[in-house]
Structure formats: structure tokens, C-alpha cells
Amino acid sequence: MSDDDTGQGTDDEGRVVLVTGGSRGIGLACARWFLDHGDRVAVTSRSGTVEDDTLDGRHPGRLLVLACDVTDAEQVERAFTAVEEAWGPVEVLVANAGITRDTLVLRMGDDAWGDVIDTNLTGSFRVAKRALARMLRLRRGRIVFVSSVSAFLGSAGQANYSAAKAGLVGMARSMAREVATRSITVNVIAPGLVETDMLAALGDDRKAELGTLVPLGRTAEPEEIAEAVGFISSAGAAYITGAVLPVDGGLAMGL
Amino acid sequence: MSNEETFEKFKEVAVEVLQVPADKVTPDARFAEDLDADSLDLVELVMALEESFDVTVEETELEGIETIGQAYDLIVAKL
């Protein structure tokens, strides 16, 4: 199998990976995974920080932390340019940045709807489009969208979030078809209940209630999602594209 | 820049993006039939031309563009 077929380069310095929304939670766990596997990782967050002070010290020269609000096309452009100037084109994109603005539909204003769609769906579109422009030239690349079980199960109080997460699936599959001839794969990870600030915000009662629905009987650690993101970005996953990989302890199996 | 120089610059971009020999990039060359370029190749070519010539091409302007000559005329008209 040639490099082109696997969609991977052979750079000893590791691939150039960009993770949006990487300051904490799933994004941070993904950044750690790629760093631990020898890649160079650019992490974006709105604050331009990561909630792990030790990361830079443990991986000198292989971590970039950039401020980027994915709702702002100019900031997206600046972030990608910064990565390209430092290391070259992004070879693996993990579009993970997302927000919630939970409320019942009848109380959901257009702004709560629009903000979540703009960040979670349109923001993912913006970064993927920017990444693809260079991946096409490279004739390789991996794009991973971080969706959610709520795309399939729905989630009371999260019509906006669930719509955005479901939208990622159709978008990813369309992109996958468009760029398949260039050995670029586009896939979706659909996490279930993950121990993040976003889950904590649901409150203990709701968390416990949801927990009883998980066949594996527990929530996931962010690292367990990162393992799946890492695999689907690997050389070994060259023949997987347009897939939705649930990492949810069985919560939404079959959907 | 003379017409010849402009076409040479256009050709360089086409050769690089489409990965074809320079002598195949003639005004009559058809993208699909003669240069084996698919729709993604054309998108890449347009983006590279926009960058090289500092012009903007709208999607609607690309309709009916099938040859190197047609694409070249489209870009030149914007200079």
C-alpha cells in the first residue's frame, strides 16, 4: 500500500493535527492522545488556553495553543495560517468545538438556536472547508467531526444542539463523497455520556437518570472518546469514510 | 504583463495543479477529455488561479467553462 492509499504521510516529526475546542474535555483528551502518539498538535479554544499546564512541558515544540472562535471566519483563517507557518498544512482535523444553550423548544429563542448551530455545525463547516483546501493538494487527510448520541436519540432541552449534531452527519457524508478520490477520509464520532463540564452542567439527577440507560452502566472518560478519534484518524483506518462511530457504552446502539 | 507572459503564468498554475505536462496545456485542451481533470481538480485550479492572479471567480461564471482557453479568457477579463 502506498502512502497515498493510506492517506498518511511519513514525516518522522509526526502529523500536523488541529483540534478545535481543545482547552478541556474531549478536545483536550484528543490533543493528549495525538501528542502521546508522536504527532504535532495545534489546539484552538476561544480563550487561547488549555486546562493542562503540563502539556507543553511534556511535548516541547509539538504543541501550539491558539485563540480561535470558530464562528469567526477570520479567526479560523488566522489559526490555520499560524499552524501552516509553524509546521505546514493540517493533515488531521478534529472538529470538536461546541457549545450548549439548553432550554425547551417553546422557550428557545432564535438566538439560542442560532448560536448553537453557528458554533457546532457552521463552525465545523468553516474549519473543515479550510482544512480541505490544503488536504486536496496533499492528496491525504483525515477529518473527524465530534457529534453526539443526541443526534439520534434527541435530547429534551437540546433541540438546537441535537439538530447541529445530526447536521454534522449529513455534512460529513457529503464531504466524504466529495474528497474520497484524494484519499481524504471524513468521519463522525458520536459520544454518549462523557465526564465533561458539559455533562456536569446537566445536574446529578439527570446524569444518574441517563446513566441507567447505558448498557455498559457508566459514563465515559474523555480519553475513551479520544481513543476512537485517534483510531479513525490513523493509517489503519484508511478504508473508513463517511462512517458514524458511536462511542456511547451502547446507549444509542442500532440507531 | 504581455499576453504571452500571462498565459505562461496561467499555464504554470495549471501544470502544477492538474499535474499534466506543459505541452498539453493549450487553449483548445478540454479539462475532462484531454487533461483528465475531474470537478475537484477544477475547483483546485480555480482557487489556485484566484490566488495567483489576485482575482475572484464566482461559481456562476464557471458554468460552461470546458477548455483551458475559456478559463484563461475568464481570468484575463478580470485583470
Residues 25-44 of B with CB under 8 A from A: 38, 40, 43-44
Q: How many residues does chain B have?
A: 79
Q: Using alpha carbons only, what angle is made at residue A76 by residues B18 and A87, rounded to the nearest 5 degrees?
A: 65
Residue A138 to chain B, least CA–CA distance (Å): 11
The Cα–Cα gap between A248 and B72 comes to 52
- For helices A123-138 and B39-53, the axis angle rounded to 10 degrees is 90
ipTM score: 0.81
pLDDT in tens, B8-60: 999 999 999 999 999 999 999 999 999 999 989 999 999 999 999 999 999 89
| Closest listed residue to residue A185, CA positions, set A227, A252, A131 | A131
Mean pLDDT of the A130-149 span: 96
Beta strands in chain A (DSSP E): 16-20, 40-45, 63-67, 92-95, 141-146, 184-191, 244-247
Give DSSP secondary structure letters for A165-208: HHHHHHHHHHHHHHHGGGTEEEEEEEE-SBSSHHHHTT-HHHHH
Closest-approach residue (CA) in chain B for A138: B17
A239 is annotated as an active-site residue: no
Q: Report residue A154 as a C-alpha cell.
A: 434527541
pLDDT in tens, A16-26: 999 999 999 99
Does B3-76 carry CATH code 1.10.1200.10?
A: yes
Boundaries of every domain in chain B: 3-76
pLDDT band at A12 (very low <50, low <70, confident <90, very high): confident
**Pairing outcome for strands A63-67 and A92-95:** unpaired
Close Cβ partners of A36 (under 8 Å, ≥ 6 residues apart): none
Query: Residues A41, A113, A161, A251: which is the catalytic one?
Result: A161
Q: What is the DSSP letter of A106?
A: G
Give the per-residue pLDDT at A2: 42
Query: Residues B23, B38, B54, B73: which is the catalytic one?
Result: B38
Handedness of CA B34, B39, B42, B44 (dihedral sign): negative
Q: How many helices (H) and strands (E) does chain A have?
A: 11, 7
pLDDT band at A4 (very low <50, low <70, confident <90, very high): very low
Say yes or no: B51 contacts chain A, CB-CB below 8 A. Answer: no
Sheet holding A92-95, edge to edge: A63-67, A40-45, A16-20, A92-95, A141-146, A184-191, A244-247
Asked if A135 and A179 count as a contact pair (C-beta separation under 8 A), the reply is: yes
Say yes or no: B66 contacts chain A, CB-CB below 8 A. Answer: no
Give the per-residue pLDDT at A199: 86
pLDDT in tens, A52-100: 888 888 888 999 999 999 999 999 999 999 999 999 999 999 999 999 9
Closest-approach residue (CA) in chain B for A179: B40
Closest-approach residue (CA) in chain A for B43: A133
Residues of B whose CB is below 8 A from A179: 40
Residues of A whose CB is below 8 A from B40: 136, 178-179, 181-182
pTM value is 0.91
Q: How many helices (H) and strands (E) does chain B have?
A: 4, 0
Give the per-residue pLDDT at A11: 54
One of 3.20.20.70, 3.40.50.300, 3.40.50.720, 3.40.50.1970 is the CATH number of A3-246, namely 3.40.50.720
Interchain contact, A136 vs B38, CB within 8 Å: no
Interchain contact, B44 vs A178, CB within 8 Å: no
